[in-house]
Amino acid sequence: MVTRMSGSNRKKKVMERISATSSIKKRKGKGGHGKGRRHEKAPAQDLEKAAKESDTDFDEVAAVGRISQETGLAEEPDTDVDRDTHYHFVLEMNRAAEDFEIDFEKMQSKMPRFPASLKGVGTSYVAPRVVAIGPYHNPLYSLGNGKSNYLVEMEEVKQVAASHFIKKSGHSFLEIRAKVESVASDPHKFYNIGSESLPDFVSMMCVDGCFLLQYMLICTARDELPSSLLYFFESNQAYISNDIMLLENQLPWVVLHTLWSLRPSVNVGEFIGKMGRTLQVSGDKVSEPFAWDGTNEPPHLLGLLWLYKTGGSVNAEPQSEELRPMSKTISAIELAEMGIKLTASKTTKFTDMGIKRRPVLADKIFLAPLLLDEVRSCWLVNMAAFEVSMAKGIQNPIVCSYLAVLAMLMDREEDVHKLRSKRLVQGELTNKETLDFFKAIIKHISGGPLYINILEEIESYKSKRWFWIKVHKFVYKNIKTIVTVVSIALSIFALLVALFKVLLSIKEH
């Protein structure tokens, strides 16, 4: 088999041929030659020549004629030079399409970078603050900007945590390293690092994975941690919990699962369940344990948190494929004016949202309540980034839809206050900070079928109950005046009744 030239060389060659073709055609245009020629079948010697010059199998070049017909480039070039350039150009297009498909498939198994479309939200959602997991922000490598002193200092703590994990596992480091190496020896298979060389990649995977599993004990089995490590974890819990859920700070699940199998007493499901439940308002709902049986395998730890909060439903479709009119975005106060009530859903899953239609009473929009602070907001952004970064598989971006619905409900700080009164949004952030967060994120994400369905149902409600909406809106906006007038009227009526009784009593006497 003939070896193909590299992608960069092929691109360079294509550009040179395009340039040559352009200059030839310009000269022909000035001279007025070569007009009116139609496509003829390329002779075999031309195909052989193209194959030889492009380091390609003859059969591949022979397919160019068919490709050019399909791509609309079937018109015969004017000269032999043009013909040669033509076939090479179509051939390179075909190869580029094949390479693109291959790269697309590889994306599925790699730890993605934070999507460029979401970077406008802020860099604080991308880079770790205290601990780097994986190579993207590891201070020992040059892949990212993670060179802070905190990241360097944490490398020693990771070594300490790994040492304790290894002792408790009953295996030697060499045994553990061999296990990890059997599933993850090539960094280029799991990370988008170009041609970068990562020395001792397997050892880094071991140490980072052991650190993560050891940290999970703070939520599941604190008594198994040495006092010094427990104190350190507690002192930095908010930052560590923030960092281990960053999209660019993940280990391949196959690595984490391999290490977990060496110490199965670590309850990963319980850890994720406790982390996920911190996103809900305390005491609102009865918390159920994370019923994860391991069959729906995540790509990494962030993906496991996503599974917990979404229920793993990735293929939900809109209720109807027919086009329906959608409402413009509408705030919480505007919904209240229309008579649509807001309420917390029966579960805390992000999938549990929609509109409950009622024939007589006002409709209800229900969605999962949210506890929001700096750490939880970072998790939400990175779960949304996870959905965006998936090359395929997530047809229904659940977290993006959930964030889009909340952002739709917030137009002013008064709307945030309204949501707080309904216990739909709580947390440490002020009304302004909450509003700013959602208005920033909605500029960079698109809601999926769940979000679109709510907009469609709101528009349907508006068209079918327009008279009720007008009456309710008038009453809602003038309720204080109406109450005052009714109170005055009742007072006057009571006064008249009292006066009538007095007059009646006087008459009787």
How confident is the model over 42-58, as pLDDT tens digits?
A: 455 555 555 555 555 55
Task: Inform me whether the pLDDT recorded for 9 exceeds 70.
Answer: no
The strand pair at 425-427 and 370-372 is best described as parallel
Instruction: Determine the length of the chain.
Output: 509
396: left (phi over 0), alpha (psi -120 to 50) or beta: beta
pLDDT for residue 4: 45
Nearest C-alpha neighbor of 240 from the set 306, 301, 307, 199:
301
pLDDT for residue 44: 52
Each residue's pLDDT tens digit, 148-183: 788 999 999 999 999 999 999 999 999 999 999 999
Which residue has 């997991």 as its token pair? 133
Contact assessment for residue 425 and residue 434, using Cβ atoms and an 8 Å cutoff: yes
Task: Inform me whether the pLDDT recorded for 128 exceeds 90.
Answer: yes
CA atoms within 13 A on the CB side of 491: 6
At 277, phi and psi to the nearest 5? -70, -15
Q: What is the mean pLDDT of residues 396-423?
A: 94
pLDDT for residue 197: 76
Task: Inform me whether the pLDDT recorded for 464 exceeds 60.
Answer: yes
Question: Which is more confident, 289 or 47?
Answer: 289
Q: Which SS3 state, helix, strand or coil, does residue 342 take?
A: strand
Tell me the Cα Rg of the chain.
32
Question: Which is more confident, 108 or 52?
Answer: 108
pLDDT class of 208 with cuts at 50, 70, 90: very high
pLDDT class of 240 with cuts at 50, 70, 90: very high
Q: What is the mean pLDDT of residues 470-495?
A: 82
148, two tokens: 């802070």
pLDDT for residue 96: 64
Task: Inform me whether the pLDDT recorded for 228 exceeds 90.
Answer: yes
Contact assessment for residue 355 and residue 370, using Cβ atoms and an 8 Å cutoff: no
pTM of the model: 0.75
| d(C-alpha 153, C-alpha 241), whole Å | 17
pLDDT for residue 153: 92
Give every CB contact of residue 435 below 8 A, 6+ residues apart in sequence: 410, 412, 413, 415, 416
pLDDT for residue 24: 46
Each residue's pLDDT tens digit, 335-387: 988 889 999 998 889 999 999 887 666 788 999 999 999 999 999 999 999 99
Per DSSP, what are the bridge partners of residue 427?
372
Question: Which is more confident, 471 or 211?
Answer: 211
pLDDT class of 488 with cuts at 50, 70, 90: confident
Amino acid at 398: I
pLDDT for residue 353: 92
170, two tokens: 């009953």
Nearest C-alpha neighbor of 16 from the set 99, 87, 77, 89:
89
One-letter-per-residue 3-state SS of 134-170: CCCCCCCCCCCCCCCHHHHHHHHHHHHHHHHHHHHHC
Q: What percent of the chain has pLDDT over 70?
A: 70
158, two tokens: 């990771």
Minimum mean pLDDT range among 361-370, 388-397, 454-463, 471-480: 388-397
pLDDT class of 294 with cuts at 50, 70, 90: low
Chain CA centroid to CA 162, Å: 30
Contact assessment for residue 447 and residue 400, using Cβ atoms and an 8 Å cutoff: yes
| d(C-alpha 359, C-alpha 336), whole Å | 18
- Residue burial 308-336, b: 16+ Cβ < 10 Å; e: rest: bbbbbebebeeeeeeeeebbebbbbbbbb
Contact assessment for residue 353 and residue 454, using Cβ atoms and an 8 Å cutoff: yes
